[in-house]
Structure 1
Amino acid sequence: MTGTIHPFYESHRDAMEAAMRQRLDLAEPMLRERAGLHDGDRIRREVMDEFAVVLTQLPYVGGTASRMSDFFMRLMGFVAIGRVLRRHGVPLPVIGDIGRETYKAEWLALPAEARLAAGRRFLSPENRAHLREQAARSRLEEFSEDFVYEFVEPGPGDGFAFGINYTGCGICKFAARHGDDALLPSICGLDFDAYAAQGIHLDRTQTRAGGAEHCDFRFRALVPDRKE
């Protein structure tokens, strides 16, 4: 392995590696049944070795001052998994399915009260004000590898609480730099279950990874299923 880990990520390394080990525990049955990879210990070692490489590649985008740092720390472990599975010849759609179901299981392993409270905070007026500030800051492009986005206010008759248009995607930039473009659909697919687990419905019709000018995220509270 070459390269060094930025001090910000180094300070979170133990927690990130622990999350990866938990993620691999959740993924192991799917790796056997869907990917045909039966040597779980070997795959685990390969993924953790690749994750160590990914950690040296993570761009610094402001640390705790930027909400997008958390996105990099949460999602880039799936790049390590995807790289290893591709080397073993696992088809990209299977990689995407394993990633989405694993991430969903991660979220659902958290107490429902905590997940839904996080969703309410995300939709709150206080967080909307924070997002407006962060969006304005992102457009200054202080960090070249960061996301760039704008806050979208709902208009009359719109069915969403608020939106975010990502005109620059940090994960797309990372993928282009490191040859991971084929994994982008798998990474983009993680968003829906993550928000749903927090009681948030996400509408999105296009992505930067799919060639659009921006990713059009639209958020609203998820209506509970009355039949439950």
Structure 2
Amino acid sequence: MAEIHSFYEAHRGAMEAAMLQRLDIAEAMLRDRAQLSDVDRIRREVMDEFEIVLTQMPYVGGAASRMSDFFMRLMGFMAIGRVLRRHRVALPVIGDIERESYKAQLLTVPEAERLASGRQFMSRENQALLREQAVKSHAEEYPEDFVYDFVESGPGDSFDFGIDYKACGFCKFAARHGDKEILPHICGLDFEAYATRGIRLERTQTLAGGASRCNFRFSRVEQE
């Protein structure tokens, strides 16, 4: 079997723990919605598939790249999707299970911590960093990485700032490894990831859906 990149190997324990937690959360859904009776077998198959996914994950700069975290947090859903497809689970059901289990997992983090993370993401300091990283992304130092532009809000806009992804690491991964039919499920997780941190995400098109860009627009959600 191919080797796991040393950067991901260093984070392997945390990624595996997150996968096991998701499978615990999804257990009832796997039985009731996917109609899979031997959930223990499914768990073993998913973790075996995750081992394969780890060897396939592209290196995009490690700790120096914000996109490394996206790969580490979300690529495990490719393993779940692959296994459920082999068991002939319908794609909409797979999408629902992945989205709902991910949201439940995110909500295990204390609310104060989640909202603090959201405020940091929306901060002027982070926006400045995103501008810098967006420029650097166009150098395409790592072929499997994301390429994106920072979008400033203008008069009359209802968002604080945006990001237009012109190339997507998940799309490249899916094309390389035959995961195109489960790729949209990864896109759907974005809304939960931001909403649980007090951020409203608006997006009307995606690269996975055939558009020329993914148009992320972010705004703060007023807390009561």
Give the shorter-chain TM-score range: over 0.9
Instruction: Name the counterpart of 1:158.
Output: 157
Q: In the aligned structure 2, how far is the partner of 1:91 from the partner of 1:76?
A: 20
**Mind listing any 5+ residue stretches in structure 1 that lack a counterpart?**
none
Deviation at 1:144, TM superposition (A): 0.2
> Which SS does the other structure have where 1:48 is aligned?
helix
1:172 equivalenced with 2:171 (yes/no):
yes
* CA deviation string 1:47-80 (max 9, x = no partner): 0000000000000000000000000000000000
* CA deviation string 1:111-164 (max 9, x = no partner): 000000000000000000110111111010000000000000001110101000
Deviation at 1:223, TM superposition (A): 3.0
Deviation at 1:40, TM superposition (A): 1.3
Q: In the aligned structure 2, how far is the partner of 1:19 from the partner of 1:186?
A: 18
- TM-score, length-scaled by structure 2: 0.99
Q: In the aligned structure 2, how far is the partner of 1:3 from the partner of 1:85?
A: 23
CA RMSD of aligned residues (A): 0.7
Letter in 1 for 2:155: P
Deviation at 1:210, TM superposition (A): 0.3
Letter in 2 for 1:37: L
> Which SS does the other structure have where 1:35 is aligned?
coil
Q: In the aligned structure 1, how far is the partner of 2:222 from the partner of 2:122?
A: 14
Deviation at 1:185, TM superposition (A): 1.2
Letter in 1 for 2:203: R
Instruction: Name the counterpart of 2:122.
Output: 123
Q: In the aligned structure 2, how far is the partner of 1:163 from the partner of 1:35?
A: 36
Instruction: Name the counterpart of 1:186.
Output: 185
Residue identity over aligned pairs, in percent, reads 70
Q: Which runs of 4+ in 1 moved over 3 A?
A: none
Q: In the aligned structure 1, how far is the partner of 2:52 from the partner of 2:172?
A: 17
> Which SS does the other structure have where 1:182 is aligned?
coil
**Mind listing any 5+ residue stretches in structure 2 that lack a counterpart?**
none
Instruction: Name the counterpart of 1:53.
Output: 52
Q: In the aligned structure 1, how far is the partner of 2:165 from the partner of 2:51?
A: 28
Letter in 2 for 1:174: F
Q: In the aligned structure 2, how far is the partner of 1:29 from the partner of 1:127?
A: 38
Q: In the aligned structure 2, how far is the partner of 1:150 from the partner of 1:4?
A: 33
Q: In the aligned structure 1, how far is the partner of 2:183 from the partner of 2:52?
A: 18
Instruction: Name the counterpart of 1:8.
Output: 7
Q: In the aligned structure 1, how far is the partner of 2:186 from the partner of 2:33?
A: 18
Q: In the aligned structure 1, how far is the partner of 2:150 from the partner of 2:177?
A: 29
Instruction: Name the counterpart of 1:196.
Output: 195
Instruction: Name the counterpart of 1:104.
Output: 103
